[in-house]
Chains A and B, each alone.
Chain A
Amino acid sequence: GAVVSQHPSRVICKSGTSVKIECRSLDFQATTMFWYRQFPKKSLMLMATSNEGSKATYEQGVEKDKFLINHASLTLSTLTVTSAHPEDSSFYICSASGASTDTQYFGPGTRLTVL
Chain B
Amino acid sequence: AQTVTQSQPEMSVQEAETVTLSCTYDTSENNYYLFWYKQPPSRQMILVIRQEAYKQQNATENRFSVNFQKAAKSFSLKISDSQLGDTAMYFCAFLNNAGNMLTFGGGTRLMVKP
A-side contacts of B33, CB under 8 Å: 102-103
Interface size on A, residues (CB 8 A): 20
Contact between chains at B102 and A43 (CB < 8 Å):
no
Given A32-B99, A108-B44, A109-B43, 18 other A-B residues pairs in contact with their CB atoms under 8 A: A34-B102, A38-B43, A42-B107, A43-B106, A44-B104, A46-B102, A49-B100, A49-B101, A91-B43, A93-B43, A97-B99, A103-B33, A103-B35, A103-B47, A104-B102, A108-B42, A108-B43, A109-B45
Q: How far is the CA of A91 from the CA of B37 in the complex (A)?
A: 17
Q: Which of B35, B91, B99 is within 8 Å of A43, CB to CB?
A: B91
Q: How far is the CA of A47 from the CA of B50 in the complex (A)?
A: 23
Binding site for B on A (CB under 8 A): 32, 34, 38, 42-44, 46, 49, 57, 91, 93, 95, 97, 102-106, 108-109
Closest to B98 in A: A102
User: How many A-B pairs fall under 8 Å by CB?
Assistant: 45
Closest to A57 in B: B100
B-side contacts of A108, CB under 8 Å: 42-44
Closest to B102 in A: A104
